[in-house]
Amino acid sequence: KNEVEQSPQNLTAQEGEFITINCSYSVGISALHWLQQHPGGGIVSLFMLSSGKKKHGRLIATINIQEKHSSLHITASHPRDSAVYICAGTSGSRLTFGEGTQLTVNP
């Protein structure tokens, strides 16, 4: 069983919709990362969090330590948000990745 599991695998939305991507993780994960992989392949870190909530522009990441669950929200989605979103967990000196969520936002 993978230590980090994401859902959904694929998500299609209309421009302006509120989007939620979920990530569940196992015991031993001490911090949770959210990454964005552009259609061209580049990977950018969005957030790293071990508790609470972080916000950057239209992106919000939350984590519930008791439930071992994190969510990435995108408000007022835009076609330029179309990308693969990846969650990854820190366990010791290692990162373990989810399989990613392919998000497509249609105009």
Partner 1 sequence: NAGVTQTPKFQVLKTGQSMTLQCAQDMNHEYMSWYRQDPGMGLRLIHYSVGAGITDQGEVPNGYNVSRSTTEDFPLRLLSAAPSQTSVYFCASSYTGAPLNIQYFGAGTRLSVL
* Residue 36 CB, nearest approach to partner 1 (Å): 11
- The footprint of partner 1 on residues 26-45 (CB under 8 A) is 30-31, 33, 35, 41-45
Dihedral Cα 23, 1, 44, 42, nearest 10 deg:
-130
Q: Could you say whether residue 23 binds partner 1 (CB under 8 A)?
A: no
Q: Could you say whether residue 20 binds partner 1 (CB under 8 A)?
A: no
Nearer to partner 1, 36 or 77 (CB): 36
CB atoms within 10 A of CB 93: 5
Q: Could you say whether residue 11 binds partner 1 (CB under 8 A)?
A: no
At 26, list the tokens: 């196992």
CB atoms within 10 A of CB 53: 12
Would strands 43-49 and 31-37 be described as parallel, antiparallel, or unpaired? antiparallel
Question: Which residues contact partner 1 by CB under 8 A?
Answer: 2, 4, 30-31, 33, 35, 41-45, 48, 50, 86, 88, 90, 92-100
